[in-house]
Amino acid sequence: MSEAAIAWKVLTHSWAIPLAFVGVLWGIIGGALPGISASIAMALLLPFTFAMDPPTAIIMLASVYVGAEYGGSIPAILIRTPGNNSAMATVIDGFEMNRQGRGGEALGISLMSGFIGGLFGLAVLIVATGPLARFALSFTPPAYFALGVLGLSVIAGLSGRSLLKGLFAGLLGFLVATIGTDPVSGISRFTFDSPDLLSGVRPALVMLGLFAVTELMVQVIEPDWLKAEAAGARLKLPGWAMHKRLFRPNAIGAVVGTVEGVTPGAGGTVAALISYNEAKRWSKHPEEFGRGSPEGVAAPECANNVVTGTALVPLLGLGIPASNSSAILLGGLLMHGLTPGPMLFDKNPEVVYGLYGGLLVANLAMLVLGLAILTPSLWLVNRPKPYVLAFVFALVVTGSYAMQQSIFDVGLVLGFGALGYVMRWMGIPQLPMVLGVVLGFMVESNFRRSLVISGGDYAIFLKDPISVTLLVISAAIVIFSVRRELRAPSGGLAI
């Protein structure tokens, strides 16, 4: 059966299409609410996909990602508050256009540029992931161990201002991943005689706590967000003349979004900011940037929507998440017993090709729902903050309990939320810990298997050419990050 036939079967013989619309709708709403980012919106929905068949669940989660990247631009344009980090660049000219009475035009440009970027990112995903996965078929256990190390070395690029804090968070996540049954000997570890921990700590619970509960705790002490006026929220799609003007910034956003999307640790925020800067550099009207330039809205919105597709290239091909949201998607795959990487194409092709078709549906849904959801989103943004936080907290508790009807799981989620709040207060990044949790099993199990194969000879990691190459790249990334820290204004490793 061809790839297109597999995708068509998944979409038409399940609830994939309507649930893709639901995912996009929830993503737009979540993205439109300040403080509820794409990763948080996905984490909130993750437990509810537990009972779904794997292709439908993954399509729904990816659809939330697509919707949230567009939804974040709504408050950015209307109330100067980005709904997610990747909409930070959109604030600059989007809100200025709104002040000039052109908010509807800015919202239309955001929607169309996001739609173009989403389709371009999907095309890159389809073209690039297959060859990458076929190459990875030659991986041995030492190579998979080195690949996991490469994924963990990305922590250096996700550590913000402190490499040491990032490494500490990654190590903490790795320790959480060791809880449960030993993958080789079958002995229980760090379970404290609790049967609830014999199967380990599911990454979904860690993500729900670190992203959603922590953000709720932070938002409780933050002031209420601004309110939007309905007059500026009348969507106006760009005409042909405006499309011609936006061709260059959209092209810049597509290129930058592709490069940054496939680079682990970069993501939509970096892509949007770089795209904005390059669009200004190559614009025929650079003086308009910062004063309500349509190009200043188009470039970052195209870029961060390209990332919704390109960030899945290393995830599906190698099993390495490139961003917060792709880490949530990795958690969804693991929750359904799926291991991303080359074997996913052979063992579960319906998941991969169904996802391709689902992303196409999701981008079309974003275009349709974007025209209809603006007024409800505006209403939600203007709701009292306590109501919104209470609703999100109810979703957290309900979702974490619904996975296995376990109060213990709810306690774990709340515990990780409290831990995440302490980490946020101490300036310790959370994503490295998530990477440690989701990649910990891959690193440990393949390390142990390699030693079993070699009879305890560590030289096996140096005899495999792919393993050596990946370990050298990992070392280079760490060395580069350490040098960058040493050259920081503080003159040493930040703590």
- The tens digit of pLDDT for each residue in 399-423 reads 778 767 788 888 998 999 999 999 8
Range of the domain at 425: 3-486
Task: Give domain status of residue 330, yes or no.
Answer: yes
Confidence band, pLDDT 50/70/90 cuts, at residue 159: low
Position 476 in a domain: yes
Q: CA-to-CA distance for 214 and 422, rounded, in angstroms?
A: 9
Query: Under a CB-based contact definition with an 8 Å cutoff, are residues 302 and 275 in contact?
Result: yes
Asked if residues 270 and 280 have their Cβ atoms less than 8 Å apart, the reply is no
Number of separate domains in the chain: 1
**How do residues 335-365 score in pLDDT, each as one tens digit?**
888 877 777 887 888 888 999 999 999 999 9
The tokens of 165 are what? 């804090």
Report helix, strand and coil shares of the chain as percent, to nearest 5: 75, 0, 25
Tokens 């990649």 appear where? 439
* Residue 491 covered by a domain: no
Instruction: Note whether residue 290 is domain-resident.
Output: yes
pLDDT digits (tens, 9 = 90+) for 12-35: 888 889 999 999 998 888 887 766
- Residue 183 belongs to a domain: yes
Encode pLDDT of 182-198 as tens digits: 777 778 888 887 888 87
Q: 10 in a domain, yes or no?
A: yes
For 300-314, what is the mean pLDDT? Answer: 88
**pTM assigned to the model:** 0.75
Separation of first and last alpha carbons in the chain: 55
Q: Which residue has the tokens 């209307």?
A: 78
Look at residue 442 and tell me if it is in a domain: yes
Would you say residue 268 lies in a domain? yes
